[in-house]
Amino acid sequence: LDTRVFMAQTFGALVEDAAASVAPPPDAPLALVTAQEVKMLPPDNVTLRLVRLRGVVTFQDVEYHQLYLQDRTGGIFAFPADDMHGSYQGKEVELAGYTAPGGFAPVIRAKSIRVLGEKRPPKPALLDSASFSSGQFDSTLAVTRGVVRSLTTRGPRSFMTLATPAGRMRVVLRGAPPASLLDSDVVVRGVVSSEFNEDRQLTGVELRVPAPSFVKVLTPAPAGVSAPQVRSVRSLLQYSPDGIQI
């Protein structure tokens, strides 16, 4: 189960109940209007701050209720309301809601979203060895380069392992890229999703990629390299005239 989805299921209902029962006082602070303002909130003052910001949707996963939004100050993760089933990928939107602690950095629980139109996506940050595990690019559109070491497709998602100079990175991609990507040197553009433990400590990052078109091949796989044959576990270590099959 996706880490952010797990955190939503754990804390979402509690925050929703609190938001429904608490009316903002007359002297309540004004709504936060940038992603940076939300992410700069101190840990003890994150919950139930009003938010109204504009930005471009850099990644959306309808099935898992995930949405990443980026404005001129950076990226932010949002949990869409249950009735938000529209396609907002690549669109400029105005999102209204309130803040929540999140599992690593502050997030937004969206109550409404309004499409403003099409807008050019923000310039991606370079995810290099210095920033790979710093957490500074959480929820931000980024680009990295590496060699595809594994590739599997399950339902509407595909999963790649990318070998980069900074280490191995997991890539979650919407859609099914060609199997020929295996062992290719590629550039991948996607949103940085932080992985974390129950103590809110960063344990790694992965890239959320909207479509196969966000993966660009720099050098194809060497000639003669093909995907390994898939075999069931039960067929291993069985007798064969040529020796035990492993």
The pLDDT tens digits of the residues spanning 142-168 come to 999 999 999 999 999 999 999 998 889
Q: Which residues contact 201 (CB under 8 A, 6 or more apart)?
A: none
For residue 148, list its beta bridge partners.
162
CB 183 within 8 A of CB 224: no
For residue 22, the model assigns a pLDDT of 45
For residue 190, the model assigns a pLDDT of 96
For residue 23, the model assigns a pLDDT of 47
Q: Is the pLDDT of residue 10 over 70?
A: no
For residue 46, the model assigns a pLDDT of 84
* pLDDT digits 0-9 by tens, 168-203: 999 999 999 999 999 999 999 999 999 999 988 888
Q: Which residues contact 172 (CB under 8 A, 6 or more apart)?
A: 157, 158, 159, 193, 206, 207, 208, 209
Structure tokens at 170: 């997991």
Structure tokens at 209: 């990629």
For residue 170, the model assigns a pLDDT of 93
For residue 2, the model assigns a pLDDT of 60
For residue 20, the model assigns a pLDDT of 47
Residue 148 dihedral angles phi and psi, to the nearest 5°: -75, 115
Structure tokens at 165: 């100079």
For residue 217, the model assigns a pLDDT of 97
74 vs 100: CA distance, rounded Å: 17
For residue 30, the model assigns a pLDDT of 79
- Whether the model clears a pTM of 0.85, i.e. scores above it, the answer is no
Closest by Cα among 53, 56, 7 to 32: 53
For residue 21, the model assigns a pLDDT of 45
- Where are any strands of DSSP class E within 80-156? 91-100, 107-118, 125-126, 141-154
Look up tokens 């960063």; give the residue. 202
Q: Is the pLDDT of residue 15 over 60?
A: no
Residue 127 dihedral angles phi and psi, to the nearest 5°: -90, 95
For residue 223, the model assigns a pLDDT of 80
For residue 43, the model assigns a pLDDT of 77
